[in-house]
Structure 1
Amino acid sequence: MKNKILVIEDDRAISELLCMNLEAAGYETVAAYDGEEAQRLLLWHEDADMAVVDIMLPGKDGFALMEDFRTTGLPVIYLTAKDDVASKVKGLKLGAEDYMVKPFEMLELLVRIEKVLERTGRARKVLTIRNIMVDVQSHQVLKDGISVNLKPMEYDLFVLLLQNKNIALGREELLKRVWGEDYLGECDTFAGGKKSAHSVGLLNNNQSVN
C-alpha cells in the first residue's frame, strides 16, 4: 500500500507539479485548493499519512488548519512563500513537522517527506517489478501474490537492486552495501554465492522495472 499525501495548495500549476512528482516517487496524492476543501479532505481521507500545505490559502489559511491536522494527528510540512522568521517560528510552534520556502527543490521536498514519514512511523514503501511486489516496511516479497521466502542477505540484495533500477552497481559497491566493508577483499564472496542466487534469479526473470 502506498503512502497517501494530501496536497493543499491554491496555485493549480504548483499543485499539479507536486502531485505529478509525488506520484512518480511512488506516493498516492489527493489535492485541495482552499481551506474549506482541505477540511473536507481530512474527513474523507482518514487513511492519509501526511499533508503538504501552503499557508496563504483562500478561506481558512494553513495556520488556521493546523488545529484540524492536530485533531487527526496528521503530520504537516508547510510549503509556502512566507519566508519571514516570524512565520517559520509560528508554523513550527503550531506543530508542523517541517517548513519549506518557495521556490523549492523537488528532490529536497521528497527527502523531507520521506524523513517525516519515517520519523512519525507512517512510512509504507512498496517496490514493484512486473509481477513481484516488495513491502519494504514488512520485508514481505510477493510474486504473483504468493509469498517468496528470502534469507536476510538475499532480501537486502534484491531491495538494493530494485531501489537502483537502471543503475549499474559494481561488485565492490554491492559487497559494501549488502555484506559490509569486511567482505570487500574476499574475491569469491559474491560471485556464484548461494546467498545471492535466489534474489538475482528473481530479477533475471523480470528484467523490466516499473
Structure 2
Amino acid sequence: MAHILIVEDEIPINELIKRNLNLVGHRCVSAFDGKEALVCVRQHSFDLILLDVMLPELDGYEVFKRIKDIPTIFLTAKNSLSDRVKGLTMGADDYLSKPFEMLELLARADAVLRRTKKETASFELDKIIINFDSRQIFADGKVIDCTPKEYELLETFVKNRNIALSREKLLELAWGFDYEGDTRTVDVHVQKLRKKLGWEDRIVTVYKLGYRLEV
C-alpha cells in the first residue's frame, strides 16, 4: 500500500481523509500548513500528496512548485475552470473540488497510484488473487469464472475494503450512474461472489445498509 501525505488545514477534514485511507490500507502523514508540508517531504518519502490549495503560511500552488517528482492531487474549494487549469498545467495529477465524496477521493487516489505504478496491480486474500490488469481472479492458481458485473462488484469491494457500502452506492460504482435496476440485483451478485470465492465471512452484511468487505 502507499505512503500518502495529507496537507489540509481543516483538522476534521484532514482526520476524515486519513481515517478512510487507513481503512483501505494506506499509511498516512498529516500536515496542516504549507511549511509543515515541506518539512514532511524532506523527512519522508511519499507515493502521493493530497494537497489543499488554500493553506496557511504557503498556499498549495507554492508548495507544489517546491515538490519534485511526487504525484499530487489538489484538493480545493475553488472550482472555477481557471483554477482547475492552473493546477493541472502546473503538472498536478488530478484536481478534486470540495465538497467531495470520500469514495471519489479514494478512487482518484487509486487511479493516480496505478498510473504512477505506486499501487500494486493485484490483491490477495485467503489464497484468492485478483489481477487488476487482466481482470482475472485466481484460487490456488486456477481461474475463477466470473461475469463482468461480478468482477466489477468485486473490484469495488476491494478498492473500498473495510468501508460499509450501501446497495445504492454499489449500483452506482459497479453498474454505472445510469443503472436503473432494482437494488436486489446487488444481493444476488453478492451471494454469487461469496459462493465462488468462499468469502461468506469476508463480504459481510451491514444491517439496513448494504455490505462491507472485511480485511
User: Could you tell me the TM-score, scaled by structure 1's length?
Assistant: 0.64
1:113 aligns with 2:112: no
Quickly say closer, same or farther: Cα 1:133–1:50, change in 2 above 3 A: farther
- With over 3 angstroms needed to count, the CA separation of the structure-2 counterparts of 1:30 and 1:173, relative to structure 1, is same
Distance 2:129 2:58 in 1: 40
Question: Aligned partners of 1:45, 1:88: CA distance in 2, in Å?
Answer: 28
How do 1:27-176 residues align onto structure 2 when only pairs under 5 Å count? 27-46=26-45, 48-69=46-67, 71=68, 73-124=69-120, 128=125, 150-153=141-144, 160=154, 163=158, 170=189
Q: Which residue of 2 aligns with 1:21?
A: 20
CA deviation profile, 1:83-114 (whole Å, cap 9, x unmatched): 22221111111011111111111111111111
Report the 3-state secondary structure (helix = DSSP H, G, I; strand = E; otherwise coil) of the residue aligned with 2:92.
coil
Change (3 A) 1:171 1:101: closer
Alignment-mate amino acid for residue 29 of structure 1: C
CA distance in 2, matches of 1:204, 1:84: 46
1 CA distance for matches of 2:99 and 2:36? 24
For these two proteins, the number of residue pairs brought into alignment is: 172
CA shift in 2, pair 1:93/1:204, >3 Å:
closer
Task: Give the match's secondary structure for 1:79.
Answer: strand
Query: How far apart are residue 52 of structure 1 and its match?
Result: 0.6
1:38 deviates by 0.6
SS of the residue aligned with 2:58?
coil
Distance 2:130 2:66 in 1: 31
Q: Comparing both structures, which one devotes a greater share of its residues to strand? A: 2
* Structure 1: unaligned runs, 5 residues or longer: 138-147, 175-190
How far the C-alpha of 1:79 sits from its partner, in A, is: 0.7
1:5 aligns with 2:4: yes
- Residue 41 of structure 1: how far off its partner (Å): 1.3
Distance 1:15 1:122 in 2: 22
The residue aligned with 1:186 is none
Q: Percent identity?
A: 33
Q: CA deviation at 1:29?
A: 1.0
Structure 2 length as normaliser, TM-score?
0.63
**Unpaired runs of at least 5, structure 2:** 133-138, 165-185, 205-213
Cα 1:134–1:31, aligned 2, differ >3 Å: closer, same or farther? farther
The amino acid that maps onto 2:142 is K
RMSD, matched Cα: 3.9
